[in-house]
Amino acid sequence: MTGPIIPASTPPDPDRIAERLPLLRRRALVARAVRAFFDARDYLEVETPYAVPTPGEEVHLRVFRTEREHHDGTRRALFLHTSPEFAMKRILAATGQPIFQLARVWRNAEGSHLHAAEFTMLEWYRPGATLAGLMDETESLLRAVLPPVLQRPPGLAEARPLRIDVPFERLTMAEAFARHAGIDLLPTEGDADSLAAAAGCALRHGEDWEDLFFRLLMERVEPAIGRDRPCFLTHWPASQAALARRDPADPRTALRFELYAAGLELANAFEELTDPVEQRRRFAADRARRASLYGAGPDMAWPMDEALLAALGHMPPCAGIALGFDRLVMLAAGTARIGDIQWLEEGAMV
């Protein structure tokens, strides 16, 4: 009797799943810990459609377009959403309950060691929460799912450890620009020449205030924050928070924060705007800017989300956050490459 035929050598795994399996197991453990965290706080896990009539209103995000064919042969354009935010706010308005979702999202024309065109977003909304309360909860989540001290992988930031077990830094955008760029930011808003003069730099061809703001943020501020411990960058200029409330104490700023850790932008959060009239005005302004920058072809044209606008007036005061789950896993697994912690990485750059 002969035994089974065994190939002389195992063929190589083009997706490297076997060699990445310890990292992928870490991904599963982090997902389990995230669900346990929200279950313990009485959050309701929800699911929303991925193919939607309105994918979002972010000016600079590119979308994936598809089409639904109905049984009668009629067709309707749909888009893969860039965030579950609009749908989750409708659920929040209907239930008044704290909710969370681990959702797949799509952003076209993206790809790098830190970006994938398809990735997982952890998004949650808490009725009654303030921006400060949401920062407290986000700190608690990271402490629940990450080790107290992280050894950062080469390529993300300096080799020194990142402390999760100490209070995270909280900097307003004005403080961050003053400290790390020597700029009094808020008085310049909307005036590109004034910001360039304050920064001691020349405007590039076609660069407006927003373009220069983000250039300075990426070149001077982001490399200096979140190095030894995570950092919340709060109170963004009002023009940079289309779905957030303005700060009543300083209407030049919006109640928004982003979270940075070890060279990664991890999360974006708002005290949510609940005024449908103001939200419609902001959406209209975003649409006009998107059309001026990128045109108005079929891949960029979708209806206003009237269901969301109708729901906003019924939504309780709340704060909400979108956190890049894949990047959270990158920190937990100690890798600088998003493809290492995705089971199959068609959307990532090798």
**Is the model's pLDDT at 7 over the cut of 60?**
no
Q: What percent of the chain lies above the pLDDT cut of 90?
A: 81
d(CA 235, CA 258): 9
Q: Interior CA angle at 83 toward 77 and 85, to 5°?
A: 105
Q: What is the mean pLDDT of residues 15-31?
A: 93
Q: What is the mean pLDDT of residues 160-184?
A: 96
Dump pLDDT digits (tens) for 261-296: 998 999 999 999 999 999 999 999 999 999 988 887
pLDDT of residue 287: 93
* Residue 84: both structure tokens together: 């579950």
Distances (CA, A) of 172 to 167, 256, 270, 295: 16, 10, 14, 34
Query: Side chain identity at 315, as an amino acid letter?
Result: M
Q: What percent of the chain lies above the pLDDT cut of 70?
A: 92
Q: What is the mean pLDDT of residues 110-129?
A: 93
d(CA 310, CA 133): 27
**Is the model's pLDDT at 348 over the cut of 90?**
no
Q: What is the mean pLDDT of residues 196-202?
A: 97
pLDDT of residue 301: 85
pLDDT of residue 153: 67
> The pTM is what?
0.92
Dump pLDDT digits (tens) for 121-145: 999 999 999 999 999 999 999 999 9
Q: Considering the chain, what is the average pLDDT of its residues?
A: 92
pLDDT of residue 350: 43
Q: DSSP H helical segments within the chain, as ranges?
A: 17-40, 85-95, 131-145, 173-181, 192-199, 209-216, 276-294, 306-312, 325-333
DSSP H or E stretch at residue 207: none
**Is the model's pLDDT at 94 over the cut of 50?**
yes
Residue 349 banded pLDDT, cuts 50, 70, 90 = very low
Distances (CA, A) of 188 to 184, 195, 222: 8, 5, 20
**Is the model's pLDDT at 175 over the cut of 80?**
yes
Residue 237 banded pLDDT, cuts 50, 70, 90 = very high
Q: What is the mean pLDDT of residues 28-44?
A: 98
Residue 11 banded pLDDT, cuts 50, 70, 90 = low
Query: Side chain identity at 117, as an amino acid letter?
Result: A
Residue 160 banded pLDDT, cuts 50, 70, 90 = confident
Q: What is the mean pLDDT of residues 64-93?
A: 95
pLDDT of residue 2: 47
Residue 158 banded pLDDT, cuts 50, 70, 90 = low
Closest CA to 171 of 245, 229, 252, 214: 229
Q: What is the mean pLDDT of residues 101-122?
A: 92
**Is the model's pLDDT at 83 over the cut of 60?**
yes
C-alpha dihedral sign at 169, 58, 110, 81: positive
